[in-house]
Amino acid sequence: MSFPGRDRTIARPPQQSKGTNCRPATPAGLQTRPSIMVVNPNTSTAMTALCLKSCELTFGEKLQFIGSSGTESVATVESCVDEVHGAMSVIDQVRAGEASGVDAYVIACFGDTGLWAARQLASGPVIGMSEAALYTASMVAARFSIVTMPVRTRESAVRVVHEAGLAHRCTVRAIDEPVAATLVDSNSELLHRLAAAARAAIAEDYAEAIILGCAGLGDLATALEADIGVPVIDGVVAGVALADALLTARITTSRANTFAPEPDAGEQQ
């Protein structure tokens, strides 16, 4: 796991107490750029680099991005078993981020692998790319569709749609391409297949926006949007925007019940 480009001069804000969801304000003059870790549950550093590139192109130097990939995980997350390995990888990465003073996290895997565990561990906001994309789409379109890959991951996308309470507005389509296809130098064929699925969603599901159902597809968002003529949402970029908004408002995860920290061993006795 690497933490490139760290230039922070800020001391870690005090740990919040249970039952509060506001982070203390940082003393004036100490704050540099907020740091956001892009957490990739798999071991592909190339995919992490793709996600970072999209974020840096969108946000410029406003934020400090830290790319993190799994070290003991799977090459891609494409099955139920992969999800479990990926979730353990997310836990390890968030723990490392907490030790390094990271301000917020975005989980770069559609299906939001390990999201709730990460929220329990992190002192700052944790955003899943799936939920970020869904809630963003709900603000710009009445109906929308996810185009994910490969086909076997479709039910994972359906699950996050239902969990977000948006099943009445969102449909899910899938193309049978492996996640590794996002790492091919020339993605013209993948773009063609995405566009075909997106057009079908627009014509048959009445979709007014398209969500990219894989973290590795972000670099195709601009070209796809120009091709199909409706908003195309990259969940990683949407997640960063939401994380930044929460940091600006000094709002973080509630510790009332669900995401309360694990009790110390002494407290359990």
**Rounded (10°) CA dihedral 147, 138, 250, 33:** 50
Structure tokens at 56: 């840096």
Give the confidence band of 83 by pLDDT, cuts at 50, 70, 90: confident
Q: Contact, 106 vs 90, CB < 8 A?
A: no
Write out the two tokens for 116.
């709730």
**Alpha helices, DSSP H, located in the chain:** 45-59, 80-100, 115-121, 129-140, 154-163, 188-204, 221-228, 235-249, 265-268
pLDDT at 246 over 90: yes
Q: Which of 215, 58, 217 is nearest to 129 (CA)?
A: 215
Give the separation between CA 100 and CA 261, rounded to whole angstroms: 18
Do residues 143 and 169 lie in contact, with contact meaning Cβ atoms separated by under 8 Å? yes
Of 138 and 19, the structure prediction assigns the larger pLDDT to 138
User: Residue 145 in 3-state DSSP?
Assistant: strand
Which one has a higher pLDDT value, 94 or 76? 94
Cα 171 to Cα 109, 146, 190, 257: the distances in Å are 19, 6, 20, 32
Q: What is the mean pLDDT of residues 159-169?
A: 96
Q: What is the pLDDT of residue 186?
A: 64
180 vs 168, higher pLDDT:
168
d(CA 198, CA 233): 12
82 contacts: CB under 8 Å, gap ≥ 6? 42, 74, 76
Question: pLDDT at position 23, please?
Answer: 42
Per the CB < 8 A criterion, the answer to whether 252 and 146 are in contact is no
Q: Is the pLDDT of residue 47 over 50?
A: yes
Residues 199-242 have pLDDT tens digits of: 999 999 999 999 999 999 999 999 999 999 999 999 999 999 99
Residue 12 has pLDDT above 60, yes or no: no
The pLDDT assigned to 263 comes to 81
Confidence at residue 70, expressed as pLDDT on a 0 to 100 scale = 87
Q: Each residue of 58-96: b (16+ CB within 10 Å) or e? A: bbeeebbbbbbbbeebbebbbeeebbebbbbbbbbbbeb
Model confidence, pTM: 0.85
Task: In whole angstroms, give the CA distance from residue 74 to residue 85.
Answer: 7
DSSP 220: G
CA 40 – CA 136 distance, rounded (Å): 21
- At residue 7, the pLDDT reads 38
